[in-house]
C-alpha cells in the first residue's frame, strides 16, 4: 500500500507484513501515523487524496462555524482510534478557498471520504461520534 507521509508528503510503500503503526517515512524518517488529523492545503492535498492508497477522510470546516468546533473533538478522536485504517485531514475553507470551490462546498462542516482520488462518500453536517463511526464503517 502507498502511504503519504504527514510530515514531508513523500510517498512510501508499506509492506503488508509490516505493522503500520511502526512505519516511518523513508525520506524524512518521521512516523507515517501520528493519530491526529493533518492540516490539508492545496500543496499537500494531492499526495494524500490522489496518490496515496489509504482512504482519506476530510473535514471541510471554518473557525467561525459552531458545529465545526463541536465536531472537532470527535474528528480528532477518530484519528487517534481509527488510523491506520483511514487517514484524517482537515481543510480550513477560509484559508483553502480553491479546495473548497473545487469540491463545491456549500455548507460546513462537510465530510468527504476519498479513495485514490475519487470521492466515495459525502456527508453534510456534524455527526455524533457513534453516527460518524457508523458512517465510516461502511467504507472500510
- For the annotated catalytic residues, the residue numbers are 65, 68
Task: Give the span between the Cα atoms of 140 and 134, in whole angstroms.
Answer: 11
Return the half-sphere exposure (C-beta side, CA atoms, 13 A cut-off) of residue 99.
23
Identify whether the C-beta of residue 59 lies closer than 8 Å to the C-beta of residue 109. yes
Q: What are phi and psi of 119, to 5 degrees?
A: -75, 115
Amino acid at each position: 500500500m502507498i502511504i503519504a507521509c504527514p510530515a514531508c508528503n513523500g510517498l512510501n510503500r508499506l509492506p503488508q507484513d509490516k505493522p503500520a503503526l511502526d512505519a516511518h517515512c523513508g525520506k524524512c524518517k518521521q512516523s507515517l501515523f501520528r493519530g491526529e488529523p493533518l492540516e490539508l492545503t492545496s500543496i499537500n492535498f494531492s499526495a494524500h487524496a490522489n496518490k496515496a492508497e489509504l482512504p482519506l477522510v476530510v473535514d471541510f470546516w471554518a473557525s467561525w462555524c459552531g458545529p465545526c468546533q463541536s465536531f472537532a473533538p470527535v474528528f480528532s478522536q477518530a484519528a487517534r482510534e481509527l488510523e491506520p485504517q483511514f487517514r484524517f485531514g482537515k481543510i480550513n475553507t477560509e484559508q483553502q478557498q480553491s479546495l473548497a470551490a473545487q469540491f463545491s462546498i456549500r455548507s460546513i462542516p462537510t465530510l468527504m471520504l476519498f479513495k485514490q482520488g475519487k470521492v466515495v462518500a459525502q456527508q453534510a453536517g456534524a455527526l455524533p461520534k457513534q453516527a460518524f463511526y457508523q458512517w465510516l464503517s461502511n467504507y472500510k
